[in-house]
Structure 1
Amino acid sequence: MRIFVLGGTGSIGSPIVRELDKRGHEVWALARSDVSAAKLRGCGATPVEGDIAAPARWIARLPPIDAVIHAACDFATEMGAIDARLLDGLLPRLAAQPKKPRFIYTGGCWLFGATGDEVATEDTPFRPLGAFAWMAPHLARILTSPEVDGIVIHPAMVYTADGGVFRRFAREAIERDAIRVVESEAIRWPLVHADDLANLYVLALERAPARSSYIGAAIDGFSVGRIARAFAKRFGTRHQEPQIVSPDAIAAELGEWARGFGLDQQLSGAKARRELGWRPKHLDPEREIARLR
């Protein structure tokens, strides 16, 4: 298939592009800089120059495509409006295709809010973090759109051993006296390695029925304190005990979206395992951290 990827150089999109190329699909991807374009070519993709914030400048240059994977998000305060303009421009273009394309839209774990001791599934009602509330009607639009066969994937907290949501821990383990944790060490994050998540996207592309949703969680919930302590141990951080900071403090530093770091969550990826044959391989993040150079 010819697949068009939005966000193809990000922490979610880059592994997707590599996995699609490995599986023999023809990949086109949006690139907003020469550096991004070079990175995409290195992963086997054909870059399309443009920015999600200005879709009118590049949509007309899209070739006929079989599917779209939307894994892009601008973490600016206007990210909801940016995404709305993107869908407003892209969906009519896709409707003009000779064959109805598939469209995989990326939701997120923070749409489910704090779950505590309950393990959320695809049937759990949304209680979205305020900064991402706009996403719920957007993904509903994709699932009900007549222009495309829509599918939604809700990634858990996406990591690599020292990247994704772990990047800040790795940096602070080296640069600070203690690693900061939002709210409490006991906060649980649902986790998924970027490579496992990429495999889920490709499985959904190839196998998922239209109008279906899947949670991409390889680990239902993992204590953030254990993550921070694993990094502190590996890099010899002066204080092994994490420094607790408030959601207000992290929001003031990074933006309102960062309040999500303080959500205590557990999410289940059982549906993806059952229906798509998804088999995550990365299930021991502490071991991966301990092996870092």
Structure 2
Amino acid sequence: MPKVLVIGASGFIGLPVAQALSRAGHTVYGLTRSESKAKQLAADEIIPIVGEPTNPQPWLNIVPTLDVVIEALGGSADLRTLSVALLKAVGEAAKTSRPASAPKISYIYTSGTWVHGESRNDFVSDTTPLLNPVKLVAWRPAVEQAILSDSTVNGIVIRPALLYGKTASLLSSLFEEAANGKVAWYGRPGGRFSLIHPDDLADIYVRAVEKAPILGGLAIDAGNEYTESVGDFLQKLVEVSGAKGPYELITPSNRTWDIYSPDCY
């Protein structure tokens, strides 16, 4: 069974992924910044490594034994620079410490479907050219290509759609506002959400880990087979929460706020 390191193992994506890999019988190491979260990882039979992603020294020594590294970071002030640095660190460690006859270490990078930008009228898939990414993540396509074309690793990209469920979803703020009697969201009428639940996303990562040798060079969009009407969702939230209707759609004031628009998923 593959040995896997999850960088960001206590995060909204990383934790379900690490837990699912552990349940599937894989040996899983989890990098986290927090001692308390390290205890949670250990309780889930994930081998914790406490440290900062900006300092790979605590885990570089295990790279020779690994089959897969998963980067599942979020919330960093300079995620672009960090992602490039992590790829370089893993690649160099693998090149210098793994036997020449060993298979390439697989490197799974977590991107997002925002790289597709707005698309109300066109069918979008994994192979659609990334011509108009949302401004906030306009740097991601270049990082994706760096990972997919890197000669020292077997690069794979997974692009989650908008996550829903549990406590850290982007949509969680809607439920907080609804509890205070108001439902409002950034966007325009007629939008639709492309969604995926963290547990379903974790299952995709498990499959990607187990099939990694034949997935190198691929970028995979991870979302449900169908989209959801934003208007229907907001109306149902008004009904079940008891908030005062009707719901409100807020016009985004700039391209950064467009990430909250339903056009972007």
Shorter-chain TM range is: 0.7 to 0.9
| Pairwise CA distance, 1:56 | 4.2
Equivalent-residue separation in structure 2 for 1:33 and 1:219 (angstroms): 36
Query: Which residue of structure 2 aligns with residue 262 of structure 1?
Result: 261
Instruction: Tell me the secondary structure at the aligned position of residue 207 of structure 2.
Output: helix
Question: Retained in 2: the 8 A contact 1:159–1:191?
Answer: yes
Query: Which residue of structure 2 aligns with residue 233 of structure 1?
Result: 239
Query: Which residue of structure 2 aligns with residue 223 of structure 1?
Result: 229
Confirm whether residue 146 of structure 1 aligns to residue 145 of structure 2.
no
Aligned to 2:109, which of 102, 105, 111? 105
Query: Which residue of structure 1 aligns with residue 134 of structure 2?
Result: 129
| Pairwise CA distance, 1:4 | 0.2
Equivalent-residue separation in structure 2 for 1:59 and 1:248 (angstroms): 43
| Pairwise CA distance, 1:181 | 0.8
Question: Retained in 2: the 8 A contact 1:185–1:223?
Answer: no
Query: Which residue of structure 2 aligns with residue 91 of structure 1?
Result: 91
Query: Which residue of structure 2 aligns with residue 202 of structure 1?
Result: 206
Instruction: Tell me the secondary structure at the aligned position of residue 219 of structure 2.
Output: strand
Question: Retained in 2: the 8 A contact 1:142–1:150?
Answer: yes
Task: Pick closer, same or farther for the CA change 1:11–1:185 going to 2, 3 Å.
Answer: farther
Question: Retained in 2: the 8 A contact 1:149–1:211?
Answer: yes
Confirm whether residue 245 of structure 1 aligns to residue 250 of structure 2.
yes
Matches within 5 A, 1:1-293: 1-52=2-53, 54-63=54-63, 64-76=65-77, 78-95=78-95, 96-98=97-99, 99=102, 100-126=104-130, 127-160=132-165, 163-174=168-179, 176-208=180-212, 209=214, 210-237=216-243, 239-248=244-253, 256=256, 258-265=257-264
Give deviations 1:109-160, integer Å, cap 9, x for gaps.
1000001122201121112112212211111111111211111111111111
Equivalent-residue separation in structure 2 for 1:108 and 1:151 (angstroms): 13
Equivalent-residue separation in structure 2 for 1:88 and 1:48 (angstroms): 20
Question: Retained in 2: the 8 A contact 1:181–1:225?
Answer: no
Amino acid at match of 1:81: T
Equivalent-residue separation in structure 2 for 1:39 and 1:246 (angstroms): 41
Task: Pick closer, same or farther for the CA change 1:33–1:263 going to 2, 3 Å.
Answer: same
| Pairwise CA distance, 1:212 | 1.6
Question: Retained in 2: the 8 A contact 1:19–1:199?
Answer: yes
Question: Retained in 2: the 8 A contact 1:17–1:45?
Answer: yes
Equivalent-residue separation in structure 2 for 1:46 and 1:153 (angstroms): 23
Equivalent-residue separation in structure 1 for 2:232 and 2:11 (angstroms): 26
| Pairwise CA distance, 1:195 | 0.8
Question: Retained in 2: the 8 A contact 1:162–1:170?
Answer: no
| Pairwise CA distance, 1:90 | 2.6
Task: Pick closer, same or farther for the CA change 1:242–1:221 going to 2, 3 Å.
Answer: same
Question: Retained in 2: the 8 A contact 1:173–1:232?
Answer: yes
| Pairwise CA distance, 1:247 | 2.2
Equivalent-residue separation in structure 1 for 2:165 and 2:48 (angstroms): 25
Instruction: Tell me the secondary structure at the aligned position of residue 28 of structure 1.
Output: strand
Q: Which runs of 5+ in 1 are unaligned?
A: 267-293
Task: Pick closer, same or farther for the CA change 1:219–1:179 going to 2, 3 Å.
Answer: farther
| Pairwise CA distance, 1:240 | 2.9
Query: Which residue of structure 2 aligns with residue 282 of structure 1?
Result: none
Task: Pick closer, same or farther for the CA change 1:131–1:44 going to 2, 3 Å.
Answer: same
Q: Percent identity?
A: 26
| Pairwise CA distance, 1:191 | 0.6
TM-score w.r.t. the length of structure 2 is 0.88
RMSD (CA atoms): 2.1
